Structure 1
Amino acid sequence: MKRMASQGDMVLSFHDSLLRTSDVDTLVPGNWLNDNIIAFAFEYFEKVQFKLHEKDVSFISPDVTQFIKLNCGDELGIFLEPLCLTSKKYIFLVVNDESSAARAGGSHWSLLMFSRPENTFYHHDSCNKSNTKSAKVVAMSIEIFLRATRKVQFKNEESPQQENTCDCGMYAICNTELLCKKHLDEDEVDLINTITPEYVTKKRQEMVNLIHKLASTSK
């Protein structure tokens, strides 16, 4: 699927991610992350940070998740087949609250994680479970393609809560990274006490630094 159009000079081309200045600008504190930045973060997790676990984990970009939420039937099956979801232990999806295919945007991101060992969808929402309806739609749409041996459960997890209206995308990214460290790297992780507003602000700058580092090494 085509991601949301962005403007400005190209900053980085990283596998399937193309970031422009307008995308990177959304990482400035006080800005709402667009889907290009979240897709880049997921691609970096897949291609670099958690590459050793690529057989066990799938990171599904926001545009694909939105397609899953708004479509069903044979078309969706053809679209999802190349993702090999039946072999993945963990699947991460960032869910947008936009319900219309006619417009892009939305106002909130949350994280949906499928855990095959626990046969459960875990929903991590940094805004008081406000995106539960959209997350459940995604879970219901994708469940049949997981080929689980029994009905998959859905659980709203206790999650770190944002203190503003713009950090939801960063919370979704931070939750994803720490959950991967917990389930893939077997690190001890405490989401609630780790992902604070200060942690999220620091992570924004770390991502800016990472993007510019990758851009400089790719020239």
Structure 2
Amino acid sequence: MPPNSKDRTRRKLQDAVVAETVEHGIAAISVAGIVKRARVSAGTVYVHFADKDDMLRQVYLQLKSEFHDSVTRGRDQADSAALVREMWFGMFDFVRARPQDFLFLEYASTAKLLLPEQQAVADGYAADIAALLRRGVEDGTLAPLEDGLLSLLLVAPALHLARGAVIAGQPITTETITRTFERVWLSIANTQGSGQIT
């Protein structure tokens, strides 16, 4: 079913928020800049959002939910090595298709925009991903590293590649994603356990 006019307008606003943030930084964005980029009237913003901060928060949570869904789509994989590989390629499906959205998530996370109840939702996504990685540590597939370090080793290359894609205006190739995963795997696999790439 095609999106209705209200959904399309909200998507235009979301895309404008992301583009303005990536181009100018969160502190420098304005409703006027978003309106101009989205090509909507100023009043349209307030049909969808209470104010600029509400807009930033809602866009962040929407994208965070979509990113989480992409990363965890293979959560039913019984084999931990296959699960981590699926998480990696799920993350990169998101990054490759939407590098600016991925950078926005990083910028917004650093800005600490969320209200406490919204932060609890975002923290729940992070805890869910950490639990999936912990499963690999517990069964000996992954090296016994802290959850935060495992996440960092997986996400940092994605950030680097997403930044490069945005700056160069070039997509990230499947070959680059695969080669990078092979290198990242060497840093997170338990060489004493069963950490084989599948």
TM value normalised by structure 1: 0.28
Specify the structure having the higher radius of gyration (Cα): 2
Relative CO higher for 1 or 2, CA cutoff 8 Å, sep ≥ 6?
Answer: 2
Higher strand share: 1
Q: Normalising by structure 2, what TM-score?
A: 0.30
Report which of the two has the higher share of helix: 2
